[in-house]
């Protein structure tokens, strides 16, 4: 399989040494950078970002993407320019840690034209800096819904605007991967966030829910898709700016996706 594993290591422990030790012990050498030193990635100083990269380098871990919360806002209550400023900062962080990938969202709103007007300057900014924006289908936001995400991805189909698919997020609002997202999303797919969910919305390890994780990955293998699988377990806590699993639960989540991959 040509699918490297990454992880949101802040779900393991707050301490970076514990995070990176557990990543490498689980055979994972990529990290999705979402928080550090008790702060969201957007609140880190340049020096703290430099320190994070140096610590990752010590353990042989490479930053896969900056897991920013850009656009996790209600459109009617927030200025688009404020989120564009946040994206500029996320891009600066990405440049410091040596990645060209930034995870974003779409704002909470229902008007397609307004969402496009909001997103266009962000995509232009990414293109200017040769960055890839990876839009995640998080539950409350415009692009969480397959029909709306398709319109958005068709409108902005470009190397600088790709898709980060999350199995659990779509189950929690009544959809499933193979039923509602694939095959149409495949040309836009940059990465997959690995977490599953039951019908009642509870997040569970990959393959233990109804998100069609094994079926989707088997189909993607047959299609020759290449991308990164990012473990984002949320097994103990899930919040608007992140989640937590702990050392033992993270290993359970890691072993679950490895077990699925071994059977493909």
* Residue 8 CA: distances (Å) to CA of 13, 183, 230: 10, 26, 7
The phi-psi region of residue 106 (left if phi > 0; otherwise alpha if psi is between -120 and 50; otherwise beta) is beta
Q: Name the CA radius of gyration of the chain, rounded.
A: 17
CA distance linking residue 157 with residue 160, whole number of Å: 8
Does domain 5-263 fall into CATH 3.20.20.150? yes
pLDDT of 139 reads: 84
- Rounded to 10°, the helix 80-97/46-58 angle is 40
pLDDT of 241 reads: 53
For the chain, what percentages of helix, strand and coil (3-state, to nearest 5) are there? 45, 20, 35
Classify each residue of 84-122 as buried b or exposed e, where b means 16 or more C-beta atoms within 10 Å of its C-beta: bebbebbbebbebbebebbbbbbbbbeeeeebeebbeeb
pLDDT of 131 reads: 98
pLDDT of 207 reads: 97
Q: What is the DSSP letter of 108?
A: B
Q: What is the DSSP letter of 35?
A: E
CA distance linking residue 158 with residue 152, whole number of Å: 11
**How is residue 120 written in tokens?**
């266009």
pLDDT in tens, the chain (264 residues): 579 999 999 999 999 999 999 999 999 999 999 999 999 999 999 999 999 999 999 999 999 999 999 999 999 999 999 999 999 999 999 999 999 999 999 999 999 999 999 999 999 999 999 999 999 999 889 999 999 999 999 999 989 999 999 999 999 999 999 999 999 999 999 999 999 999 999 999 999 999 999 999 999 999 999 999 999 987 664 555 555 568 999 999 999 999 999 999
Q: What is the pTM of this model?
A: 0.95
Task: For residue 4, report the phi and psi dihedrals to the nearest 5 degrees.
Answer: -65, 150
DSSP letters spanning 151-209: HHHHHH-BTTEEEEEEHHHHHTTT--IIIIITTTTGGGEEEEEE-EE-TT--EESTTSS
Report which secondary-structure segment, H or E, holds 33: strand 30-33
CB 134 within 8 A of CB 65: yes
pLDDT of 140 reads: 85
Half-sphere exposure for 6 (CA within 13 Å, toward CB): 22
pLDDT of 115 reads: 98
């Amino acid at each position: 399989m040509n699918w490297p594993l990454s992880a949101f290591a802040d779900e393991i422990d707050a301490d970076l040494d514990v995070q990176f030790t557990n990543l490498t012990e689980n055979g994972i050498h990529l990290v999705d950078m979402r928080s550090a030193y008790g702060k969201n990635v957007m609140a880190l100083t340049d020096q703290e970002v430099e320190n994070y990269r140096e610590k990752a380098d010590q353990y042989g871990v490479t930053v896969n993407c900056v897991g920013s919360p850009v656009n996790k806002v209600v459109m009617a209550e927030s200025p688009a320019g404020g989120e564009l400023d946040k994206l500029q900062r996320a891009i600066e962080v990405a440049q410091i840690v040596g990645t060209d990938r930034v995870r974003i969202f779409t704002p909470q709103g229902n008007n397609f034209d307004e969402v496009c007007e909001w997103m266009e300057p962000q995509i232009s900014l990414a293109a200017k800096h040769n960055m890839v924006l990876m839009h995640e289908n998080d539950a409350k936001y415009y692009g969480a819904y397959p029909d709306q995400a398709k319109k958005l991805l068709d409108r902005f189909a470009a190397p600088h605007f790709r898709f980060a698919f999350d199995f659990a997020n779509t189950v929690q609002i009544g959809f499933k991967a193979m039923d509602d997202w694939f095959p149409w999303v495949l040309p836009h797919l940059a990465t997959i966030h690995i977490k599953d969910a039951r019908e009642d919305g509870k997040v569970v390890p990959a393959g233990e829910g109804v998100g069609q994780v094994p079926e989707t990955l088997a189909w993607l293998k047959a299609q020759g898709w290449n991308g990164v699988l990012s473990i984002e377990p949320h097994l103990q806590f899930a919040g608007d700016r992140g989640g937590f699993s702990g050392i033992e639960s993270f290993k359970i989540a890691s072993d679950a996706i490895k077990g699925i991959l071994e059977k493909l």
